[in-house]
Amino acid sequence: MKRKLLKNIEWGILICTILLIVISFVALLSATQNSDYDEFKKQIVWVLVSIPIMIIVILIDYDIFVKVSPVLYGASIIVLITVLFTDPINGASSWFSFGQFTIQPAEFAKIAFVLFLAFVITKIQQKGRDEISRPLKLGLILLVAAVPILLIVKQPDYGTACAFVMGLIFILFVSGIKKRYIITAIMAVVILVPVAYFFVLPEHAKERIDVYLNPDLDPRGAGYNIIQSKLAIGAGQLLGMGLFKGNQTQLGYLYPKTTDFIYSVIGEELGFLVAAGVIILYVILITKAMYVAKTAKDDMGSYIAAGIAGIFFFHMVENIGMTMGLLPITGIPLPFVSYGGSSMITNFIMIGLLLNISARRKRALFVD
């Protein structure tokens, strides 16, 4: 049985993950040389902690995870409510602090979110795949998704909330939802985005959007990070300025260079070729994840893989886009590359679920 599982595993996903972690170690080694390599050492610890967790996730049939997903979902909601009463860090109540370490529950909630959505949708579709397109059933799914998303918005953490939304979109797309709902949703977004900007978003969020549109509005304040990031990436040119030799990186102009702007460090010191290689690795990883969704043995596996692909897709596009000034800054980490314990463990669990589903796959389930 174990030999059969190993034969079916989508090894390309694991290879991409390993290569991204290697690039992360190289970038963090350079970015932390002025701080006694503190975050570089911690990143190694988080990876070593995450690997056995991933292996355990691979070995346990994902059906078991789905069956306990209501409990995981309920626990995540409780934790997301509890974290709102903690002292804000950088203006957001998103972390539990334990000495030198912090835990971000919204990261772990991604797993419960995807698993429980897969559970709910498959239950609804037991009477037929078109059941998901019935207004009441679709409303139930959206309600399940809205609870954690709104709690994360309350922190406030708009970037992570958007990652949840993207996971939901990928799952609904794969589940066979009727096109009229997709068109309606697009129209609603077009209408609601300006409404949200003028009447819903707090001032600091509006400021980020204004600066995204024109960084020179406040070059020494809100626009500073985008300007320095673009300078760093541009200075790297084709082959980079060399490890430990980046001006913006080593002189402290990039902040925070180990998390939000780690891609800027890569672009400056390792150059366009490596930076482009990072994007290619993510494209392969996400494509492989969608292939796992297509070839899963059942609908649940398909929905889980699609949700994970959506989350990785948003993190990749948003983080890299914001470092280039193409998207607003949201504080979204780059999976496997940015420093962070909560995100690293969560990402490894999601990779474990993808490998788990691919190991047990039989046939494609997408509807034409």
Measured CA to CA in angstroms, residue 275 lies from 284, 289, 324 at distances of 15, 22, 12
Residue type, 71: V
Percent of the chain whose predicted confidence (pLDDT) is above 70? 96
Residue 304 has pLDDT above 70, yes or no: yes
Task: Give the model's pLDDT for residue 365.
Answer: 44
CA 145 to CA 170: how far, in whole Å? 13
Backbone angles phi, psi at 89, to 5 degrees: -120, 120
Give the per-residue pLDDT at 4: 63
What are the structural domain ranges in the chain?
2-359
Kindly report, residue by residue over 61-84, the tens digit of the pLDDT. Answer: 999 999 999 999 999 999 999 999
User: How would you classify residue 352: left for phi > 0, otherwise alpha for psi between -120 and 50, otherwise beta?
Assistant: alpha
For residue 186, what are the contacts with CB-CB under 8 A and spacing of at least 6? Answer: none
Q: Could you tell me the sign of the dihedral formed by the alpha carbons of 190, 316, 165, 256, in that order?
A: negative
Closest CA to 292 of 182, 177, 174: 174
Please indicate whether residue 129 or residue 272 has the higher confidence score (pLDDT): 272
Q: Residue 220 above 80 pLDDT?
A: no
Q: How far apart are CA 96 and CA 344, in angstroms?
A: 16
Helix (H) or strand (E) holding 4: helix 2-8
* Top-confidence residue, 223 or 171: 171
pTM: 0.92
- Determine the Cα angle at 207 with ends 203 and 212, to 5°: 155
pLDDT tens-digit readout, 260-288: 999 999 999 999 999 999 999 999 999 99
Classify 98 as helix, strand or coil: strand
The CA distance from 330 to 345, in Å, is: 21
* Residue 26: φ, ψ to 5°: -65, -45
Mean of all residue pLDDT scores within the chain:
89
- pLDDT in the model for residue 219: 74
Categorize the per-residue pLDDT at 368 as very low, low, confident or very high, splitting at 50, 70 and 90. Answer: very low
In the chain the first and final C-alpha atoms are separated, in Å, by: 32
Mapped onto helix, strand or coil, the DSSP state of residue 89 is strand
Per-residue confidence band for 322, with pLDDT thresholds at 50, 70 and 90: very high
